[in-house]
Structure 1
């Protein structure tokens, strides 16, 4: 990311910081928090690049959690990435599709979408991102009788499904037809994997 792009990103984050999302509709609020989370994540990486993993940034902070560090003020409240994900989006919306829109910058999370969320497109974009991710080798892979799924699904299991049987139905809901059929008939266990290397956003 060059200096002009970094300035544009900082200007965009500054613009979002001036907004009180409580003045907007529920869908617009969801879009706002998703966009802010992703913009802050990209800014952190661009300011610390080159790095192999976003976790490398945390190592520079003397052991302090990167996710809990306040990065911005919204409506006069200090806000961290953890605040956005775990104190706002997850508990308020109770919607597993938000995980398809949050870019945690590693290979076992969905990639950054090429457009911003809006109140009008947020539902459709999250569903499309879910389809793209689950049909990608980094999302769900069924090969030689083994089912391997991205660690995000085990990390936030309670948001997706109460057990592996229900998780298979979630995968099948987003999967292409052929994969969906295999998933619905799968009898083995799901192996979850984590890869914290940068996903290129």
Structure 2
């Protein structure tokens, strides 16, 4: 009898978890669709009615995800990061930049996944340190124009890999690179020098990484440099 009771409790807990995390993904998806367009965020609109943002983040407080279920884990924390950046902006709204607020990324904590955690800890400890995937830099959006564009939907476990590929391709075929063919030069976002180690894994060069996702390939003999990051707010 005891064995059956344990099985029933385990199944009930799993069902409850599945419902909660799926509800989180659904609410996050609805929020992004309603408030993001062209990679930019309707902060003024959100500020006038904070209900949807507060609801989805309240739900995220107690959800527990395991890195053993990598897609579920990554999708949860990517969405939680992007939503918490928006919450941080709204907490200081109106503002011109997240950098105008000391500790925005490394001191301010957010209640997510049963933790009190900073944005930097989500990015560097829960994601980058656990998974060797440079594509995180193209889906974690820091609230600035220099960031990759924010998509107007949630990242979902079932579509995560294709979504990460799409956003990486969009960045590296768009604003993350400035190519001067005549001078044989390419300038990349400062993200690629701040986190250079992520882009040169397994003996690859930064150009190798870029060309994996870029339609018009960059020749190996092009000189690579970096342009300054634009920290102005990514507002509509």
**Structure 1's 168 and 24: CA in aligned 2 closer, same or farther, altered over 3 A?**
closer
Q: TM-score, normalised by structure 2?
A: 0.73
Number of residue pairs the alignment of both structures matches: 190
Indicate yes or no: 2:152 matched with 1:117.
Answer: no
Does the 8 A contact of 1:68 with 1:83 survive in 2?
Answer: no
Question: In structure 2, how many angstroms separate the alpha carbons of the residues matched to 1:97 and 1:23?
Answer: 17
**Structure 1's 192 and 161: CA in aligned 2 closer, same or farther, altered over 3 A?**
farther
**Structure 1's 57 and 81: CA in aligned 2 closer, same or farther, altered over 3 A?**
same
Indicate yes or no: 2:195 matched with 1:160.
Answer: no
Indicate yes or no: 2:173 matched with 1:135.
Answer: yes
Q: TM-score, normalised by structure 1?
A: 0.85
Does the 8 A contact of 2:144 with 2:230 survive in 1?
Answer: yes
Matches within 5 A, 1:71-82: 71-75=110-114, 77-82=115-120
Does the 8 A contact of 1:105 with 1:111 survive in 2?
Answer: no
Q: Specify which of 96, 101, 109 is matched with residue 70 of structure 1.
A: 109
3-state SS, counterpart of residue 39 of structure 1: helix
**Structure 1's 92 and 2: CA in aligned 2 closer, same or farther, altered over 3 A?**
closer
Tell me what 1:61 maps to. Answer: none
Does the 8 A contact of 1:107 with 1:198 survive in 2?
Answer: yes
3-state SS, counterpart of residue 197 of structure 2: helix
Off by >3 Å, runs of 4+ in structure 1: 2-5
Tell me what 1:8 maps to. Answer: 52
Question: In structure 1, how many angstroms separate the alpha carbons of the residues matched to 2:112 and 2:137?
Answer: 23
Q: Specify which of 66, 89, 99 is matched with residue 127 of structure 2.
A: 89
Structure 2: 5+ residue runs without aligned partners?
A: 1-44
Instruction: Compute the displacement of 1:14 (Å).
Output: 0.9
Instruction: Compute the displacement of 1:57 (Å).
Output: 2.1
Does the 8 A contact of 1:25 with 1:119 survive in 2?
Answer: no
Structure 1: 5+ residue runs without aligned partners?
A: 59-63
**Structure 1's 7 and 134: CA in aligned 2 closer, same or farther, altered over 3 A?**
same
Instruction: Compute the displacement of 1:20 (Å).
Output: 0.6
Question: In structure 1, how many angstroms separate the alpha carbons of the residues matched to 2:129 and 2:46?
Answer: 36
Q: CA offsets per residue over residues 148-197 of structure 1, 9 Å max, x none?
A: 111111111111116xx710111111112xx21xx134432323422211
Question: In structure 1, how many angstroms separate the alpha carbons of the residues matched to 2:95 and 2:155?
Answer: 27
The structure that has the greater radius of gyration is 2
Indicate yes or no: 2:203 matched with 1:199.
Answer: no
Instruction: Compute the displacement of 1:118 (Å).
Output: 1.0
Q: CA offsets per residue over residues 117-165 of structure 1, 9 Å max, x none?
A: 11111111011000111111x2011024231111111111111116xx7
**Structure 1's 23 and 150: CA in aligned 2 closer, same or farther, altered over 3 A?**
closer
The Cα RMSD (Å) is 2.4
